[in-house]
A and B are shown apart, each in its own frame.
Chain A
Amino acid sequence: MIRSNASEMAAKLVAGETTSVALTAAHLDRIRAVDVDVHAFLHVDSEGALAQAAAVDAKRAKGEKLSPLAGVPLALKDVLTQKGIPTTCGSKILAGWRPPYDSSVVANLKRNDIVILGKTNMDEFAMGSSTENSAFGPTHNPWDLTRIPGGSGGGSSAALAAFQAPLAIGTDTGGSIRQPAAVTGTVGVKPTYGGVSRFGLVAFSSSLDQAGPCARTVLDAALLHEAIAGYDPKDSTSINAPVPAVVAAAKSGNVKGMKIGVVKELNGDGYQSGVRTRFEESLELLAGAGAEIVQVSAPNFEYALAAYYLIAPSECSSNLARFDAMRYGLRVGDIDGASAESVMNLTREAGFGREVKRRIILGTYALSSGYYDAYYGSAQKVRTLITQDFNKAFARCDVMVSPTCPTTAFKIGEKSNDPIAMYLNDIATIPVNMAGIGGMSLPAGLAPEDGLPVGFQIMAPAMQDQRMYLVGAALEAALLSKWGAPLLSQAPALAGS
C-alpha cells in the first residue's frame, strides 16, 4: 500500500478500500523500520498524525465533501512552523522550540485534511545542497545510503524515495526542492515566487524563498500544489491572482505544438556524461510527443551562481539577526551580570553551524559600507540581466529545459570541506529563483555509469506554472512506457522492506 502514489491512495480512501488511519499507521511503521538507516525525519508525530487521520475518517463516514488528497499522509520540511510541534530548521539554536502558531502552508494542509506525519531533516536554515549541514546529522539517499539525498530538503526527498511518505513539502531558495528531487528520482516543484505563502516559513533569503510540493508523480505534485497555493494576506509578497490550473495540466500532458527551449549554457562541459545522455533522451521523447525543440541562449546565467552567493548571504545575515536569544530558542551565558550583547555572541557561536556562520559573515561583508556597490549592488544588477535573459528566451519558447544538476548524488563527506564545489551543485537551479519564476524537476532515468537518478528541469514564466506540469506529465508518461514501471521500482530494497 505504501508504494502506491498519493492519487491512488486517495482513490482507495474514496472507494472505502482503506482508511486514513490504516494508511497513516502503515507509513508510521515504515518510518520506524527504515528511518534508522535513512534519517529523513527529525520528529515523528505519530499521535497527532493518527488523530488527524481518525478525524478525516470520521468526516468521510459522515459523508462530508472532502478535498482530493484528504486522508493522505505527508512529510513536512522542518523549516515550516506547525503549532505545538518542534521546529528546528536543522539548527541547534532552535532545538526544542515548539512554535505557537501554524504556517499558512500547514493551515492549508490541515484545511485539506492532509495528514502530517512529521518534520523532515534539512541543511541548517536551508543553507546547503546535501543535508550534511543539519545539526542533527545527515540524511542518507535511499538509492545508496553512502550518498547525499540532495539539499537543503534532503529529508523530504529521501522520505518519498524510501516510501516513508507519498507527499512532502519542500522549500526552494536556490534549488532546495529540485536538486533533492533530481538525486532521489522524485518530483519537486518550485512554484512561481509568491504563489505559495511564506507566512510561517522561517526566512533564509526572503526574495528567493518559496515553498512547494514534492511527490513521486507529476499529478501528485499538482494535487499538492493546488492544496497549498493561493493568496494569503499574511504574506505581503503573496500574489493575489487565481492559482494556475496545474492539476488539469498534469492530467492532460498534451504538448503538441509547444515550444521547448533547451538552454545552451546549462549543458555541456561540467555535466556528467550520463546526465547528458538522459537529458538528450528526454528531449527526443518530448519531440516524439509532438513538442518542438528549439535552442535558446541565456548568456548571463553563468553569473547567477556568483550573484546568488551574494544576495542569499546578504538577506540571511539580516534575517538570522532574529536569533538573538531573547524571545525564543537557545540562550547561552546568561549568568549574573552578563550583558545582552555577550549572551547574543555566545548563543550565536554555540547555536549556529559552520556554513550558517560563513554565510552570515559573507552577507555582513557584502552589505557593509564601502563594499555594498561592488558586491550586493552588482549582484542585484546581475539579477536584472538574468531576468532579461529569461524574458528574451520565453519570447521564443513556452518553457525552458535543462538537466536539474550537473551530476548524480555524490558521496557523503565528498564536498563538505570545499564550499565552492558544493555551491556548483546549484548552477542550473539558481537562475529560476533569481527571476522568481517556476521550476520543476522530474526523474529522467538513471545515469548508465553509476546507476543513480538524473533530474530533468522544466522552467516556466511567472504564473504559468501549468506549463511545467503539461511538459512534466508528457515526459513522465513517455518514460513510464519505456521503463514499464516507475523509476523507484529499481531502487534497492531497504532493510525494512
Chain B
Amino acid sequence: MSSLSRDDVANLARLARIEMSEEELISLSNEFTVILDAVARVQEVAAADVEPTSHPLPLRNVFRPDVVVPSLTTKEALSGAPAQEESRFRVPQILGEE
C-alpha cells in the first residue's frame, strides 16, 4: 500500500510552488492513500517488454517554414500583465538581496 505523509505532500507542494495550509496538507495526504492505491494498478500489467506510449501520434520533430508573420504588438502582449513598466512585464524580485 502506497501513501504520502504530510511532509511528503508539503515537499511536493513546494516543488509545485503552491502554498498550502496545514489542514490542506493533512487532508491531501489522507486522500492520496486511496488515490495511489487506485492508480498503482497500472503496475499489474506494465511488463518490461511493453513499449511505453507518450503520445497517440507517431510524430518526430515538426517544423514550419521560417517566415515572418504578423504577431502580437507589445501593447497586446502586455494587455494581461499584472504589472508593467516601460513596455515590459514588471515582476517581483527574482534574485536574493545580496
**Contacts from A to B (Cβ < 8 Å):** 97-101, 193-194, 207, 233, 236-237, 239, 300, 303, 305-307, 309-310, 317, 321, 324-331, 334, 337-346, 348-349, 352, 357-358, 360-362, 364-366, 368, 374-375, 377-385, 387, 419-420, 423, 434-437, 462
Chain B, interface SS category = loop
Contact of A194 among B35, B57, B80, B89 (CB under 8 A): B57
Q: Please determine whether B39 and A309 come into contact, CB atoms closer than 8 angstroms.
A: yes
Contact of A365 among B12, B53, B92, B94 (CB under 8 A): B12
Contact of A306 among B12, B16, B41, B81 (CB under 8 A): B41
Task: Tell me, in angstroms, the Cα distance from A362 to B16 when the chains sit together.
Answer: 10
Confirm or deny: B46 has a beta carbon within 8 angstroms of a beta carbon on chain A. yes
Task: Tell me, in angstroms, the Cα distance from A331 to B81 when the chains sit together.
Answer: 9
Task: Tell me, in angstroms, the Cα distance from A330 to B82 when the chains sit together.
Answer: 7
Task: Tell me, in angstroms, the Cα distance from A61 to B79 when the chains sit together.
Answer: 37
0/1 string, B53-79, CB within 8 A of A gives 1: 111110100101000000010001101
Using A348-B17, A375-B42 as known contacts, list a sample of 14 further A-B pairs with CB atoms less than 8 Å apart, ordered by residue number in A: A303-B45, A305-B38, A310-B42, A324-B17, A329-B82, A330-B82, A337-B93, A349-B20, A352-B18, A377-B46, A379-B46, A381-B46, A381-B53, A383-B52
0/1 string, B8-29, CB within 8 A of A gives 1: 1100110111111000100010
Which residues of B sit under 8 angstroms from A462, Cβ to Cβ? 56
Q: Please determine whether B57 and A378 come into contact, CB atoms closer than 8 angstroms.
A: no
Contact of B82 among A328, A361, A381 (CB under 8 A): A328
Q: Please determine whether B72 and A101 come into contact, CB atoms closer than 8 angstroms.
A: yes
Which residues of B sit under 8 angstroms from A193, Cβ to Cβ? 56-57
Task: Tell me, in angstroms, the Cα distance from A440 to B53 when the chains sit together.
Answer: 24
Which residues of A sit under 8 angstroms from B79, Cβ to Cβ? 98, 100
Q: Please determine whether A306 and B92 come into contact, CB atoms closer than 8 angstroms.
A: no
A-B contact pairs, 17 of them (CB 8 A): A99-B80, A207-B56, A236-B59, A303-B42, A309-B38, A309-B39, A310-B39, A331-B83, A334-B83, A340-B94, A341-B17, A352-B18, A381-B42, A381-B47, A384-B53, A420-B34, A436-B57
Which residues of A sit under 8 angstroms from B76, Cβ to Cβ? 100-101
Q: Please determine whether B57 and A237 come into contact, CB atoms closer than 8 angstroms.
A: yes
Confirm or deny: B50 has a beta carbon within 8 angstroms of a beta carbon on chain A. yes
Given contacts A349-B20, A384-B53, contact A339 B39 (CB under 8 A): no
In this complex, which of B18, B52, B93 has the most chain A Cβ atoms within 10 angstroms of its Cβ? B18
Min CB gap B70→A, angstroms = 11
Q: Please determine whether B56 and A306 come into contact, CB atoms closer than 8 angstroms.
A: no
Q: Please determine whether B24 and A364 come into contact, CB atoms closer than 8 angstroms.
A: no
Which residues of B sit under 8 angstroms from A338, Cβ to Cβ? 92-93
Which residues of A sit under 8 angstroms from B82, Cβ to Cβ? 325-326, 328-331, 334
Task: Tell me, in angstroms, the Cα distance from A381 to B45 when the chains sit together.
Answer: 8
Q: Please determine whether A306 and B89 come into contact, CB atoms closer than 8 angstroms.
A: no
Which 3 A-B residue pairs are closest in the complex by CB-CB distance?
A: A436-B56, A328-B80, A380-B52
Q: Please determine whether A300 and B45 come into contact, CB atoms closer than 8 angstroms.
A: yes
Task: Tell me, in angstroms, the Cα distance from A344 to B77 when the chains sit together.
Answer: 20
Q: Please determine whether B51 and A100 come into contact, CB atoms closer than 8 angstroms.
A: no
Task: Tell me, in angstroms, the Cα distance from A397 to B41 when the chains sit together.
Answer: 29
Given contacts A324-B17, A334-B83, contact A357 B24 (CB under 8 A): yes
Task: Tell me, in angstroms, the Cα distance from A436 to B56 when the chains sit together.
Answer: 5
Task: Tell me, in angstroms, the Cα distance from A349 to B23 when the chains sit together.
Answer: 13
Task: Tell me, in angstroms, the Cα distance from A423 to B38 when the chains sit together.
Answer: 10
Which residues of B sit under 8 angstroms from A365, Cβ to Cβ? 4, 8, 12, 32
Given contacts A237-B59, A334-B82, contact A345 B17 (CB under 8 A): yes
Q: Please determine whether B38 and A207 come into contact, CB atoms closer than 8 angstroms.
A: no
Which residues of A sit under 8 angstroms from B89, Cβ to Cβ? 326-327
Given contacts A100-B76, A340-B94, A380-B52, contact A362 B35 (CB under 8 A): yes
Confirm or deny: B1 has a beta carbon within 8 angstroms of a beta carbon on chain A. no
